[in-house]
């Protein structure tokens, strides 16, 4: 057996698992038979993939109805990615430029209850902090 065959099988399995997650993201709870039909695979193949995804909390199964939906671990994984997009990091050079150009203090506000830390606020070095201009990014 060549080394290429297992890689192709592994990639196909990963692609099928991702397809399952996509199907469940489209619309709530589905049975293993529904997923097998959508993927055009045997039911046992779909159930093996679902079992692996369930063990890793990427899907969860309702014991009563034997239907599956996206699992609780997905938001945890997504938070890592969304955490990389820090609006403060993107807005900081804009606020610094605005503070310099306007000769005013600037700050990043997130709405009525802003939780922007002081690091997201910038003052013009030549002007004492007397007023604030909104810096919306």
pLDDT tens, 5-58? Answer: 566 656 899 999 999 999 999 988 999 999 999 999 999 999 999 999 999 999
Band of pLDDT at residue 60, cut at 50, 70 and 90:
very high
4-77 CATH choice from 3.40.50.300, 1.10.10.10, 3.30.950.10, 3.40.50.10490: 1.10.10.10
Query: Rounded CA gap, 111 and 117, in Å?
Result: 14
DSSP secondary structure code for residue 112 in this structure: T
Q: Rounded distance, CA 135 to CA 90, Å?
A: 12
CA-wise closest residue to 107 among 134, 80, 75, 73: 134
Q: What pLDDT digit, counting tens, does each position of 44-53 carry? A: 999 999 999 9
* Sheet with 30-31, edge to edge strand ranges: 30-31, 67-70, 59-62
Range(s) of the chain covered by CATH 1.10.10.10: 4-77
pTM: 0.55
């Amino acid at each position: 057996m060549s080394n290429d065959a297992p890689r192709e099988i592994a990639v196909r399995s990963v692609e099928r698992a991702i397809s399952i997650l996509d199907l469940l993201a489209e619309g709530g709870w589905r049975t293993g038979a529904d997923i097998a039909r959508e993927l055009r695979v045997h039911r046992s193949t779909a159930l093996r993939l679902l079992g692996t995804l369930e063990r890793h909390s990427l899907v969860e199964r309702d014991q009563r109805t034997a239907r599956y939906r996206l699992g609780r671990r997905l938001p945890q994984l997504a938070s890592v990615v969304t955490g990389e997009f820090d609006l403060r990091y993107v807005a900081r050079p804009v606020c610094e430029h605005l503070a310099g150009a306007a000769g005013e203090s600037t700050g990043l506000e997130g709405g009525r209850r802003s939780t922007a830390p002081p690091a997201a606020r910038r003052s013009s070095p030549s002007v004492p902090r007397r007023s604030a201009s909104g810096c919306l990014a």
